[in-house]
Amino acid sequence: MPQHEAGAGRYAPSPSGDLHLGNLRTALLAWLFARSSGRRFLMRIEDLDRARDAGSGEHQLTDLTLLGIDWDGDAVLQSDRAADHEAAIARLADAGLVYECTCTRRDILAAPSAPHAPPGAYPGTCRDRSDAEREEARRAIAPRLPALRLRVPEGSGEREFTDLVLGRARGEIDDFVLRRGDGTVAYNLAVVVDDAAMRVDQVVRGDDLASSTPRQILLQRLLGLPSPPAVEYAHVPLVLGPGGARLAKRDGAVTLSDLAADGIDAEAARAILARSLGLAAPGELVTLTQMLDRFDPALLPREPWTWPPASVGAYPRRA
Say whether pLDDT at 226 is over 60: yes
Q: What is the mean pLDDT of the chain?
A: 92
Is 11 labeled as ligand-binding? yes
66 class by beta-carbon count within 10 Å (0-12 exposed, 13-18 middle, 19+ buried): middle
pLDDT tens, residue by residue, 249-295:
777 778 999 999 999 999 999 999 999 999 999 999 999 999 999 99
Closest by Cα among 3, 73, 76, 68 to 35:
3
Say whether pLDDT at 190 is over 60: yes
Is 16 labeled as ligand-binding? no
Beta partners for 206? 236
**Beta-strand pair 167-172/158-163:** antiparallel
Mean pLDDT score, 197-209:
97
Is 111 labeled as ligand-binding? no
Is 122 labeled as ligand-binding? yes
Say whether pLDDT at 236 is over 60: yes
Is 228 labeled as ligand-binding? no
- Of residues 116 and 220, which shows the higher confidence score? 220
197's enclosing H/E stretch is helix 187-197
| 52-61, 131-140, 296-305: the lowest-pLDDT one | 52-61
Domain at 8-74+237-314, CATH homologous superfamily: HUPs (3.40.50.620)
DSSP assignments along 135-182, one per residue: HHHHHHHTTSPPEEEE-PPTT-SEEEEEETTTEEEEEE----EEE-TT
Is 249 labeled as ligand-binding? yes
What confidence score (pLDDT) does residue 120 get? Answer: 76
136-171 b/e (C-beta count within 10 Å ≥ 16 → b): ebeeeeeeeebbbbbbbeeeebebebebbbbeebeb
Say whether pLDDT at 157 is over 80: no
pLDDT tens, residue by residue, 290-310:
999 999 999 999 999 999 888
Say whether pLDDT at 130 is over 80: yes
Q: Which letter does DSSP use for residue 246 in this model?
A: B
Class assignment of domain 82-189? alpha beta
101's enclosing H/E stretch is strand 98-101
Distances (CA, A) of 210 to 3, 160, 203, 216: 27, 11, 11, 10
Is 187 labeled as ligand-binding? yes
Residues 170 and 159 sit within 8 Å (Cβ to Cβ): yes
Say whether pLDDT at 66 is over 80: yes
pLDDT band at residue 159 using 50, 70 and 90 as cut-offs: confident
Is 13 labeled as ligand-binding? yes
Is 257 labeled as ligand-binding? no
Say whether pLDDT at 20 is over 60: yes
pLDDT band at residue 113 using 50, 70 and 90 as cut-offs: low
Is 113 labeled as ligand-binding? no
Mean pLDDT score, 135-160:
92
Q: Where are the domains of the chain?
A: 8-74+237-314, 82-189
What confidence score (pLDDT) does residue 76 get? Answer: 96
Phi, psi (deg, nearest 5) at residue 248:
-145, 165
Say whether pLDDT at 203 is over 70: yes
pLDDT band at residue 248 using 50, 70 and 90 as cut-offs: confident
Q: Is 154 left (phi over 0), alpha (psi -120 to 50) or beta?
A: beta
Is 233 labeled as ligand-binding? no
